[in-house]
């Protein structure tokens, strides 16, 4: 959920590759199943970012 709050604070147009690289590093340490539990509460644009980072 903290990822969602952080991305909302940054806003979609302001998300940089540096942000995405850092998120990818963090998400590598979290099982995808844990993140998917929170996906129902995420805005669609954040879900798409998270899904891309897990690919």
Euclidean distance between CA atoms 42 and 1, whole angstroms: 8
CA 32, CA 3: separation in Å to the nearest integer?
Answer: 13
pTM: 0.83
Could you tell me the pLDDT band of residue 42, with boundaries at 50, 70 and 90?
A: very high
Of all residues in the chain, the percent with pLDDT exceeding 70 is 100
Q: Which residues, 6 or more positions from 15, have their beta carbon under 8 angstroms from its beta carbon?
A: 7, 49
The whole-number pLDDT of residue 25 equals 94
């Amino acid at each position: 959920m903290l990822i969602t709050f952080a991305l909302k604070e940054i806003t979609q147009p302001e998300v940089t590759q540096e942000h995405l690289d850092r998120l990818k590093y963090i998400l590598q340490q979290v099982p995808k199943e844990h993140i998917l539990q929170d996906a129902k509460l995420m805005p669609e644009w954040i879900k798409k970012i998270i899904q891309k980072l897990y690919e």
